[in-house]
Amino acid sequence: MAIVNVTPDSFSDGGERLDPARAIDDGLRFVAEGADILDVGGESTRPGSAAVSPEEECRRILPVVEGLVRQGAVVSLDTRRALVAEAGLAAGARIVNDVSALRDDPAMLPLVARRKAAVILMHRRGRPQERYAGPAYIDVVEDVRRFLLDRAVACEMAGVERQSIALDPGLGFGKAVEEELALIAGTEHLAEEGYPVLIGCSRKSFIGRLTGVEKPSDRDPASAWLAVEAVRRGASIVRVHNVVATRQTLAVFKAMR
């Protein structure tokens, strides 16, 4: 899954794709490089970023979604708002990737069920755009696993098909560095529940803290290695900025298995 942010303030690539034509070109390049899914987002969720209205989010993403779908791309919507998801699905997107696990907007779960869309449920503590400073986890892997399974069951009870649900432990959202690493190491415990697991560690700040690399785009080597480690431990989807580096690293890993 390649990241196609159309925001002015995302932590790594904010401002790079404000022109829809540039975003579409980048997305099609990612597909040519080996991306299976394009995750299009119009609202940054990094700490300190400004929230935007659903209308502005739609204005940013819809031309891009329409252009990518027209070229045959599989598009995911990185949104937590039902109004945006409804418009994006109508434009041809197939997946809703919600950082709130369909909790922030009460209309989101019924919408996903009614439209028979695939959904990615992410674990998050605290609110988007704010750093979490609450109590520590007792067992981060088990706590996250239980939360995501509860949300998956809620989706199934609402009519979402089990095979349409994927789980994301939410690296970079309310976790300390050691907890991020524990979640990657514990991917197999989440995967054993039978749902596809998505790991999104690309260029995250915890990599910067571990390596001392400040510029997000310079974190691609570590990001690619962590993607391989996640796949080795059971992840089905890795969400990345650099498709080429990830594909090459995965190809070598698979050849050596």
Catalytic residue annotation: 204, 239
Residues near 256 by Cβ (< 8 Å), separated by ≥ 6?
none
Helix (H, G, I), strand (E, B) or coil at 53: coil
- Which helix (H) or strand (E) segment holds residue 256: the answer is helix 243-256
* CA 49 from centre of chain: 17
* Distance in angstroms (rounded) separating the CA atoms of residues 27 and 23: 6
Q: Are 122 and 98 in contact (CB under 8 A)?
A: yes
Neighbouring CB atoms inside 10 A of 187's CB total 22
Q: Are 158 and 110 in contact (CB under 8 A)?
A: yes
